[in-house]
Structure 1
Amino acid sequence: MNQTDTAGEELLLASREIDDDLFQTVLSAPGIKCAGCIDKIESGITKIPNVVRTRVNLSTKRVTVDWKKSNNAPPLIDALGQLGFQAHLSNCDTKPSDNELRTLIRALAVAGFGAANIMMLSVGVWAGADEETRTLFHWISAFIALPVMVFSGKIFFSSAWSALKSGGTNMDVPISAGVIITFTMSLYDTITGGQHAYFDAATSLLFFLLIGRTLDYVVRARAHSAIDGLRKLAPEGAAVIQPDGSTRYSPIEQIQPGMEMRIPAGARIPVNGTITDGRSDIDHSVINGESEPRSTHIGDTVLAGALNLTGPIVIKASSTSNTSFISDMIRLMESAETSRHGYQRIADRVSKLYTPVVHIGAVLAFLLWFLIDGNAHHALTVAVSVLIITCPCALGLATPMVQVIAAQRLYRNGILIKGGTALEKLADIDSVIFDKTGTLTEGSPHLTNCGTVDERTLRLAASIAAHSSHPYSKALAQSIPPPMQVQFKTNQFTEHPGDGIESKIDGAVYRLGRAGWASGDAESRDHKHYSTVIFGVSGRTLATFKFIDGLKPSASDALKELKNNNLSIEILSGDRKGPVAEVAALLGGVPYFANLRPQAKLAHITKQAARGHKVLMVGDGINDAPALAGAYVSMAPGNAADIGRTAADIIFLNNGLEAVTTTYLTARNAKTLIRQNIAFAILYNGVAIPLAFLGFITPLIAAIAMSTSSIVVVLNSLRLGMGEQKQLVKTIKNKNVARTPTQYHGAA
């Protein structure tokens, strides 16, 4: 086997299959620096045969490639090398260190020290120093600037050289050219006794650029700390039970579905699984935001990252480490960072044109001024100013900086964005449609008239209900006291979707479910406050069970806030008219539609879209999946059905509806900040470039202006989340402290 085959096999083993014959490989490329690098890698790698999709994450310096399997894996690492980026498999990374940040800080300190001292010497020259003093100050400035160029400038020079060696360019090429030309021209003027030298411009440019680059790195690293925190929630391995009953520690990568693991108290669950032995209290706060531990027993499902609190348990794995809950959440977070916002696609196209345009502009400026006054020195000074001041950095940072900060702030509130366009769409919505059961209400109905039904009937109904997964059946089975939970001897159970469950006992046919089907009574028995379930035998009613479903404590405040933001609200529910009307009334008379099947919900949303409305759909059940997929943008809670979470664009782990308002306000503020950033970047270049071209700007002013533009964009992006949404979440949570789900229908 040759070296190429070995590399391909290693790449294949390090990849994961995401669909039939479709694999995904994640590579680490530390040389990624800017939007130009992203465009270069994505366009270059996508040209490789069998590569379907390429995405670059600037925060993590990772390249994610989806490719179709053929005879061998595509030569991704070699291709990145040819593009000027050294790369390796991301799972080969050692524990990350902050070497890059330390390097930036050291370079920044050196550049700041040099620029400050040269600036003080320049003040003496500007104050009218005589020729000998001016020459001395210029030489001292040259000696100070030289180590700054070598040490601090290396960050830009090495990046530019790597790009040029691979036959391409990046944003560091014109920056490096501007700094080197300015230093060389100033050194020439110092040697020849010239009146002007711009060592202050060269060192100040490096200093301000390093401020922007360091600030950008810190912001991205802080935002990505959420993903790093998720990774730390998964243990490195677990004690796997062997066939002979002994245990052996296995790394998490080697755990496969079907393996049984012993999880001691105080340990986290490594992969998704089902409890096969033991009972314990499990902390699910990382999964759904619940602060109270949940008691679990044999047969219960547990997800990766949950904390086992009180007792040892044995779980059977149902996923690998790459398909566990934690891995899914990490992929969602990284997807939000790498997805392309509409504004970002525009900025990327502009940034792609930057290098050729700025070089052509600088050459034209030199030729124009040389033709005007014949002074090559002055013409070169103007060209350098144009080269330095023309900067797409602000435009390149305008969208991704806001996007990264938004993803971080939403994650802290338990909200995960599945794609970058979701926030963009959410900011444009004009209406919100809610499902009722499990979305506006707790989704856990409670039996209210247990004491009015005779014991034998109650026991019999509960025995039948235990064989159904319907929420009302579960509530009925769980509401019976343990001494009464006696199973009747029968194995004949048939569940009829939409109607109820049927059982044959001693030759009689018992039905538990919808009125009309369970008892033959055509009356709906609809009640303003209650949902009813009929228990009947051979067409005769034995009992009527009444259930209530508590309104979520945050529902009223969340909907009120959405209305205050001029959004129209509607409720679409498959439940009967009475309970839906009651919920709508408690929420301030919200328009509602009841008795809707999944197709009817989708049809309603499609009709709204045809009228020009941009709808946010919030739902949690399997029956909401078509509506979630068909809406302009959609949200689902973390405890929603799998198909619902898959269809939704945004997932909120905490089931409180304050997540909807928080996400909407964040999206709206993010859109405002992105527009501000882009407007500033366009205005800056629109004013600065003509002034530099006309010779009104020196290289020093150009250096300060160019660097300041990037810093302004970063600082403006940091304003996201500092205002109304933080106050909103605090207000809603404070209001919910003394609220309980049972307060819904409390007067009934």
Structure 2
Amino acid sequence: MTCCGVSAELAVERERTAGARLSEEEVKLSSRSLGNGLRQTDLSVPGVHCGACIRTIESALAKLDGVESARVNLSTKRVSVCWREESQPPVVATLGRLGYAAHLFDDTSAGKDSTLTELIRALAISGFAAANIMLLSVSVWSGAEGATRDLFHWVSALIAVPAFAFAGRIYFRSAWEALSNGRMNMDVPIALGISLAYGMSLYETITHGEHAYFDAAVSLLFFLLIGRTLDHVMRDRARAAVTGLARLAPRGAMVVQADGSRDYLPVAELQPGMEIIVSAGERIPVDGIVRSGTSELDCAIVTGESTPRPAAPGEAVQAGTLNLLQPLMIEATAASKDSFLAEIVRLMESAEGGRARYRRIADRASALYSPVVHLTAFCTFLAWLTISGDWHRALTIAIAVLIITCPCALGLAVPIVQVVAARRLFEKGIMVKDGSAMERLAEIDTVVFDKTGTLTIGTPRVTNLAEIAPSALATAAAIAAHSRHPLSRAILSAGRTVDTVPFESIAEIPGRGLEAIRAGDVYRLGRPDWAFAAVAKEALVGSTVLSLNGVLLATFEFEDRLRPDAASAVAQLKAAGLTVEIISGDASAAVASVAEALSVDLAYAQVPPGSKVERLAELSSRGRKVLMVGDGLNDAPALIAAHVSIAPATAADIGRNAADFVFLHDSLSAVPIALEVSRRSGRLIRENLVLAVGYNAIAVPIAILGHVTPLIAAIAMSTSSLIVIGNAMRLLSSRGKKVETDRRADASFPLPAVAS
């Protein structure tokens, strides 16, 4: 009796702890409809680790009322349960009673970045140690002597131990790997410098010396880790453009089996020949051919075309396009690894590999600078040992040379300017995603723009509202509310009132428009040659009309708009001596009209993603350094391949991830502003490098001559860092060339009507 009671209490506790994190309501909301009254739920169960677990879970879930089937995948630790809609089974609670904690399965979640975690922890530990040792050093500098001074030195030595043991191991490990393979890297002299500084400081502490240099050694480690952490974050963001495609692609698709049953399969399991159902609002999972159904596809992220493309039986469709209107049955013609999205990934990885060879100014300078300085310190030690015969004095002078020539100022020369410039750009509504991007932006001589969503807003609007009766506009808006078509959304947005009289039925006819029935009357909103029976329709070609029983009620004209300041921004770029081009996947007429409005001589239309990359490669082969400004999936490879890239915040996720800069407002003035700030930051970076090298040109000879103690060297090193930081802060001042924008006509500049 007691045993049973304990078992029951244990089962209740297991259910409470394992199942409380995920409610049955959440399970229902996350489930997918399989049709025929069935739904499928995918759960992640980390506790699954053997065949016995599989049998236990599958047999227990199969006994629940409403469960049709339960499958456990051991490799992914995923439990897939198919159940009837009318009776939701307690899947999570059952797993909890079995002792298995469950949560929603997500195969697109990114793994933890262990390297970044280690860097951040090392940075925190070294920063904490440096701050506390510096406080103790202030007491020593203030005149502490004898036992008090020795106590402060010993406490500093103890605080420095975890800093060197944990934070320093990043450099020690790298240096050892390089030396064990018979080569040198930048971490070798760094490891040598901080080791000698700590060792000499410890010796001074043991022998009751007046000076110890724990503060200089740990501060050096702290500043170096700042630069390394920033570098890792920036390089990792370059990979986010590729990994972002996994989030854009559908996670799975509804497959119709040979016996007519339906099964939801992961995209990786889709094979050519499979019949797939794509509902309205879903993306095409793989390349295929439409077998049944008619709809319209939003291909903007694939081709750049702003107008939806009709899809009918026999039409080829590409992975990534969005189904807008009606369900489609497609036959897969390629596996996911051979789809359009996979091709985009390969293009991006190829372009990314080319950019990986780029080296920052500070890296190039440090590669030459650091070995020379540390060789100088070693030669100084040998020279003083030969002259004086006092190894203690020789080592002290050599350490002073190492500390005074510490690369803190050089290491800060680039990152501090990047941080200040990033703040400056953020104030202007521009985000910097890659620290080296400003350096590259300052070097450009060619600007390439995409059209749709970049030079233009990409969203049509109604232009003739004054000619439309309020009642007709309200009726049209009420009908348009039942469609995802961009023109329907424009009409809905333009409607000022809501038609409260309900319609008996509303149907969308792909490629034609919407048909609504109310009290026996037939309303049609769509193409003129379908909506009403008037003879003279030529003047209305390209418009959208509303008709009642074949009688015209209203005509809707649409236009796309240039982004605010587009003309001004292009003019400023051309005035700066840059070549401006337009490369778009949109139709020739639309591209030509934009090029004419902006006075751009070079414009290319109907360009696929691969050809955009080829054009950039051609420009690069001629020695041109290109800034690519674009949005959407089709621009992502070009954004990666360009010397530097900018995207608007309205871009597709993959476009924003691929770009080096993202501007948050509609105005294209962000492009010349970013260029100007980048050029100023480039000048400040060069000035900082000169200051860092110049400081060492003066300080090194003095240190070599023995006139600088390690304490003075540490102060001089800190001073050089402050000078570099102060110079970078000049970027926040209002001095310098200001980028003025012309807002007179761009905000309302009309483009030709968007085809219906």
Instruction: Note if contact 2:282-2:323 (Cα within 8 Å) is conserved in structure 1.
Output: yes
Residue matched to 2:225 = 210
Residue matched to 1:391 = 407
Change (3 A) 1:361 1:316: farther
SS in 2 for 1:381: helix
Instruction: Note if contact 2:448-2:628 (Cα within 8 Å) is conserved in structure 1.
Output: no
Instruction: Note if contact 1:278-1:298 (Cα within 8 Å) is conserved in structure 2.
Output: yes
Letter in 2 for 1:685: V
SS in 2 for 1:563: helix
1:619 matched to 2:604? The reply is yes
Residue matched to 2:154 = 139
Letter in 2 for 1:391: P
1:122 matched to 2:170? The reply is no
Change (3 A) 1:420 1:131: closer
- Give matches, 1:313-328, under 5 Å: 313-317=328-332, 320-322=335-337, 324-327=339-342
SS in 2 for 1:128: coil
Q: Deviations over 1:427-448 (max 9, x none)?
A: 324x989999x9899999x9xx
Match of 1:684 among 685, 692, 699: 692
Change (3 A) 1:237 1:303: same
1:482 matched to 2:498? The reply is no
Alpha-carbon distance between aligned partners in 2 of 1:385 and 1:237, rounded to the nearest angstrom? 63
**TM superposition shift of 1:142:** 1.9
Residue matched to 1:178 = 193
Instruction: Note if contact 1:337-1:420 (Cα within 8 Å) is conserved in structure 2.
Output: no
Instruction: Note if contact 2:456-2:563 (Cα within 8 Å) is conserved in structure 1.
Output: yes
Match of 1:196 among 190, 203, 211: 211
Match of 2:444 among 415, 427, 431: 427
Alpha-carbon distance between aligned partners in 1 of 2:211 and 2:151, rounded to the nearest angstrom? 13
**TM superposition shift of 1:247:** 4.4
SS in 2 for 1:315: strand
Alpha-carbon distance between aligned partners in 1 of 2:298 and 2:358, rounded to the nearest angstrom? 40
Instruction: Note if contact 1:272-1:319 (Cα within 8 Å) is conserved in structure 2.
Output: yes
Residue matched to 1:32 = none
Residue matched to 2:165 = 150
Instruction: Note if contact 1:238-1:262 (Cα within 8 Å) is conserved in structure 2.
Output: yes
Instruction: Note if contact 2:293-2:312 (Cα within 8 Å) is conserved in structure 1.
Output: yes
Instruction: Note if contact 2:438-2:681 (Cα within 8 Å) is conserved in structure 1.
Output: no
Change (3 A) 1:149 1:423: closer
Q: CA RMSD in A?
A: 6.5
Alpha-carbon distance between aligned partners in 2 of 1:204 and 1:647, rounded to the nearest angstrom? 37
Residue matched to 1:563 = 571
Alpha-carbon distance between aligned partners in 2 of 1:196 and 1:240, rounded to the nearest angstrom? 76
Residue matched to 2:376 = 361
Alpha-carbon distance between aligned partners in 1 of 2:386 and 2:283, rounded to the nearest angstrom? 73
1:234 matched to 2:245? The reply is no
Q: Deviations over 1:571-623 (max 9, x none)?
A: 999xxxx9999988866xx497xxxxxxxxxxxxxxxxxxxxxxxx4422369
Q: Deviations over 1:52-102 (max 9, x none)?
A: xxxxxxxxxxxxxxxxxxxxxxxxxxxxxxxxxxxxxxxx99941143333
Alpha-carbon distance between aligned partners in 2 of 1:179 and 1:285, rounded to the nearest angstrom? 55
Instruction: Note if contact 2:287-2:333 (Cα within 8 Å) is conserved in structure 1.
Output: yes
SS in 2 for 1:262: strand
Residue matched to 1:500 = none
**TM superposition shift of 1:413:** 9.2
Q: Deviations over 1:605-653 (max 9, x none)?
A: xxxxxxxxxxxx44223699898776555869679999x9799957979
Instruction: Note if contact 1:636-1:648 (Cα within 8 Å) is conserved in structure 2.
Output: no
Instruction: Note if contact 2:130-2:215 (Cα within 8 Å) is conserved in structure 1.
Output: yes
Alpha-carbon distance between aligned partners in 2 of 1:728 and 1:281, rounded to the nearest angstrom? 43
Alpha-carbon distance between aligned partners in 2 of 1:716 and 1:338, rounded to the nearest angstrom? 34
1:162 matched to 2:177? The reply is yes
**TM superposition shift of 1:380:** 2.1
- Give matches, 1:551-630, under 5 Å: 553-554=561-562, 557-565=565-573, 566=575, 590=599, 617-621=602-606
SS in 2 for 1:204: helix
Residue matched to 2:125 = 110
Match of 2:681 among 670, 673, 677: 673
Change (3 A) 1:686 1:741: same
**TM superposition shift of 1:178:** 0.9
Q: Give me the TM-score of the superposition, normalised by structure 1.
A: 0.53
Letter in 1 for 2:407: C
Alpha-carbon distance between aligned partners in 2 of 1:712 and 1:223, rounded to the nearest angstrom? 31
Change (3 A) 1:220 1:630: closer
**TM superposition shift of 1:182:** 0.9
Letter in 2 for 1:619: Y
Structure 1 unaligned runs (5+)?
1-91, 447-474, 486-528, 533-548, 593-616
Residue matched to 2:472 = none
- Give matches, 1:723-738, under 5 Å: 736=747
Residue matched to 1:598 = none
Alpha-carbon distance between aligned partners in 2 of 1:716 and 1:567, rounded to the nearest angstrom? 26
Residue matched to 1:694 = 702
Query: Percent of aligned pairs with the same residue?
Result: 38
Residue matched to 1:271 = 286
SS in 1 for 2:359: helix
Instruction: Note if contact 1:101-1:217 (Cα within 8 Å) is conserved in structure 2.
Output: yes
Change (3 A) 1:285 1:395: farther
Alpha-carbon distance between aligned partners in 2 of 1:479 and 1:531, rounded to the nearest angstrom? 8
Alpha-carbon distance between aligned partners in 2 of 1:435 and 1:313, rounded to the nearest angstrom? 30
Pairs aligned (count): 535
Alpha-carbon distance between aligned partners in 2 of 1:709 and 1:237, rounded to the nearest angstrom? 57
Alpha-carbon distance between aligned partners in 1 of 2:382 and 2:261, rounded to the nearest angstrom? 82
Change (3 A) 1:278 1:148: same
Structure 2 unaligned runs (5+)?
1-106, 463-510, 514-525, 534-538, 543-556, 584-588, 652-662
SS in 2 for 1:193: coil
Alpha-carbon distance between aligned partners in 2 of 1:196 and 1:702, rounded to the nearest angstrom? 12
Instruction: Note if contact 1:276-1:315 (Cα within 8 Å) is conserved in structure 2.
Output: yes
Q: Deviations over 1:11-32 (max 9, x none)?
A: xxxxxxxxxxxxxxxxxxxxxx
Letter in 2 for 1:209: L
Q: Deviations over 1:665-690 (max 9, x none)?
A: 54554354344324413431331354
SS in 2 for 1:694: helix
Instruction: Note if contact 1:189-1:197 (Cα within 8 Å) is conserved in structure 2.
Output: yes
SS in 2 for 1:113: helix
Residue matched to 1:97 = 112
Change (3 A) 1:396 1:198: closer
**TM superposition shift of 1:359:** 3.2
Q: Give me the TM-score of the superposition, normalised by structure 2.
A: 0.53
Alpha-carbon distance between aligned partners in 1 of 2:154 and 2:563, rounded to the nearest angstrom? 71
**TM superposition shift of 1:195:** 1.8
Alpha-carbon distance between aligned partners in 2 of 1:414 and 1:291, rounded to the nearest angstrom? 26
**TM superposition shift of 1:216:** 4.0
